[in-house]
Amino acid sequence: MKVLVTGASGLIGSQLATFLSIPSSSLPQQSKAYAAASTHIDARQADGSTPPLPRYKSSSSAPSSQGHTVIPLSLRGLDDEDELAKKLDNLSLNAVVHLAGESIAERWTEEKMLHIKESRINGTNLLYQALAKIQRRPQTLICASAIGYYGNRNNESLNEQSSKGDGFLANLCAQWEQTQNKAASLGIRVVNMRFGVVLSKHGGALSKMLLPFQLGAGGIIGNGQQYMSWIDIDDVTGAIYHALTNNTLTGPVNVVSPHAVTNQEFTKVLGKVLCRPTLIPIPSFGLRMLFGAMADELLISGQNVIPAKLQASGYQFQYPDLEPSLRHVLNQK
């Protein structure tokens, strides 16, 4: 396949671009795989280093990537759909993976929330408008979304058929997916990947938790009973590749482990993996003072989400359970 990836320098995009670019025979041989990837893509982490390869349990359990051609595209500063359409038409793409968007892992001010929204809605709409103008359209459009769509639902078990929740993220995800789905009218298969909490030491929520936990200052957030629907970074890559190659998948797809845990359980397991105590709770009011509205929607609230479509379509999770996943991403035996 020839796959265009927006957001290819981000946490998910960099690993996906590397994975797609290397032949499956190179997966167990990381040094050769890095060399192969560097000839295909220009996707790097923020510090300039090559993103880590997925570390599958064995070469036989890894999906075969076949050495696809990956084309990174930055939408930052791009607002001319005619210019983008010309570029896309010349590429003769098989698929687009659209991951670009402003980071949400910062204090939410009114200005920040506007940037979060505009980067997703405007960027996706620009991509749709460009796709509408070209003759050689890709067959598949895989787009990022989030389980924030469901809002704060406490212990309720949620699948892709569950209703939208309330709040900024729920409304944003609904509008974002609505914009993504316009591409279906062009005859393109659209998949909305609703990502949970992605576990990686190279970015995302876990990377921000590590220092206080390593210092023995980690603890539950709020009352600790809110559910965390998490996903190993390698299973994120695997799920996207599964969606690229499985034509039965359309619409929203929950990209989470089949085994969600409460924040209290997550805290206990992370402390065990790091061999550190977890005795210092973080009160809700303190989080609100530090992070504003982000605290309520990302830290204090929770969703117990089930990956129903992934499981029904035959995806095999590499790391369905939390402790093996944390040991994997943190290189802890």
Per-residue pLDDT of the chain in tens (333 residues, 90 and over written 9): 899 999 999 999 999 998 898 764 444 333 333 333 333 333 333 344 434 434 333 333 344 445 789 999 988 888 899 999 999 999 999 999 999 999 888 888 899 999 999 999 999 999 999 999 999 999 999 999 999 999 999 889 999 999 999 999 999 999 999 999 999 999 999 999 999 999 999 988 898 888 889 999 889 998 999 999 999 999 999 999 999 999 999 999 999 999 999 999 999 999 999 999 998 888 887 778 777 788 888 888 899 999 999 999 999 999 999 999 999 999 998
CA distance 101 to 156: 28
Q: Is 62 helix (H, G, I), strand (E, B) or coil?
A: coil
Residue range(s) defining the domain that contains residue 34: 2-198+233-256+307-318
Name the token pair of 10: 């981000």
Strand partners, 190: 141
Compute φ and ψ for 142, nearest 5 degrees.
-100, 125
Residue 35 covered by a domain = yes
pLDDT at 23: 60
Pick from 217, 195, 188: nearest CA to 280: 217
- Supply the DSSP symbol for 297: I
Query: What is the domain count for the chain?
Result: 1
- Supply the DSSP symbol for 298: I
DSSP-derived secondary structure for 77-126 = T---HHHHHHHHHHHT-SEEEE------SS-B-HHHHHHHHHHHHHHHHH
Q: Which residue blocks in the chain are alpha helix, DSSP H?
A: 11-21, 30-38, 81-91, 110-132, 168-180, 204-214, 233-245, 263-274, 284-291, 293-294, 308-312, 322-329
CA distance 222 to 123: 35
pLDDT at 32: 31
pTM confidence score: 0.86
Residue 245 covered by a domain = yes
CA distance 239 to 234: 9
Residue 326 covered by a domain = no
Question: What's the Rg (C-alpha) of the chain?
Answer: 19
pLDDT at 60: 32
pLDDT at 27: 42
Name the token pair of 129: 């408008």
Pairing of strands 304-305, 157-158: parallel
CATH number for the domain that contains residue 23 = 3.40.50.720
